[in-house]
Every structure is written in C-alpha cells, then in structure tokens.
Amino acid sequence: MNIYISGLSYGINNADLTNLFAEFGEVSSAKVIFDRETGRSRGFAFVEMPNDTESQEVIAKAKKVWVDAGNKDRKIKDLKTMDLYLKPEENAVYYVFNEEESGSFPLYE
C-alpha cells in the first residue's frame, strides 16, 4: 500500500520516515518530496508498505479515534475524508476528519 503523508516538518528525511513507519512493519520505500529549486522538503511524502495489514495499522488507529470521540451513532462509513499529519518530533499524529473535526493521538505509546 502506498500511503500519502502530509504535514511533515521540514527536517524529516527519507531515513527518518522509514524508521518511523518501521515501527508498524516492513517499509518498501519512503520518499520525502523535495523542492527542485531550493532542495527543501515540501512537507509531504509517500511511504510504501508491502503488507497491507501493517500499513492499515496507523489508519485503523486514526479511525478508532474518530469513532471513539463521537457518540455511538457514528460509523466508519460516515468518515468521508481523513487527513493525517505525522510529527515524530512531537510523538504525535494530528488528524482532520471530514474537514471539520481535528485532534491528535500519540504516535508511539
């Protein structure tokens, strides 16, 4: 599975991203996207994990937070959009659900 990651701090490099996601399983590749002219990170990346089960772990954790944060009538099918912003230096994953609800949860427990 190829996972799009946005909201990265500009100091994150490919090795940092690989190490971060290795906590969840095997990482095939991790590529931070850099600006061609300045060489500075553009704040987003792509992480590829060959095992879909492992790659779904971060996504599942975010979905659980979304359901747990609401009332019992909330269902995963009500989740239309989910943006995740990883900040390993803060040990946090920040999220925005349906472009209106936001929060965070620890990256490592």
CB atoms within 10 A of CB 18: 15
What sign results for the dihedral spanned by CA atoms 76, 67, 7, 53?
Answer: negative
Query: Is the pLDDT confidence value at 45 over 50?
Result: yes
What confidence category does residue 107 fall into, taking pLDDT thresholds of 50, 70 and 90?
confident
SS3 22: helix
pLDDT, averaged across the chain: 77
Give the model confidence (pLDDT) of 10-19 as tens digits: 888 899 888 8
Distance CA 86, CA 6 (A): 7
Nearest Cα residue to 62 out of 47, 39, 81: 81
Q: What is the arithmetic mean of pLDDT over 79-107? A: 76
Outline where DSSP puts E strands in the chain: 2-6, 29-34, 41-48, 82-87, 92-97, 101-106
Give the model confidence (pLDDT) of 22-43 as tens digits: 877 888 999 999 999 999 889 8
